[in-house]
Amino acid sequence: MVTINWNEFKEFKKHRHGQNDNFSELLEFIKSYYNMSSTAEIYDTLRHDALSEMMLDKRGLKDAVGLESYLFKVIE
């Protein structure tokens, strides 16, 4: 598991021009910056960070399966 580098995330967002909401941007950042593809690994990373944990809770995402469902809804 990694620790989210919020400074790098801010830089990442600068180059994306606000294409998505912060949570979707964070997911894209984690997938690209940390080269993660496993939903379970992404979920664990998010759960171990206070700010991203609030983002998960706001969306009612309680586990990796819920995150995966969320990802598929965003893609469609």
Q: How far apart are CA 46 and CA 55, in angstroms?
A: 9
The model's pTM is 0.88
For 12-63, write each residue's pLDDT tens digit.
998 887 677 899 999 999 999 999 999 999 999 999 999 999 999 999 999 9
One-character DSSP codes across 7-73? HHHHHHHHTTTT-S-HHHHHHHHHHHHS----HHHHHHHHHTSHHHHHHHHHTT--SHHHHHHHHHH
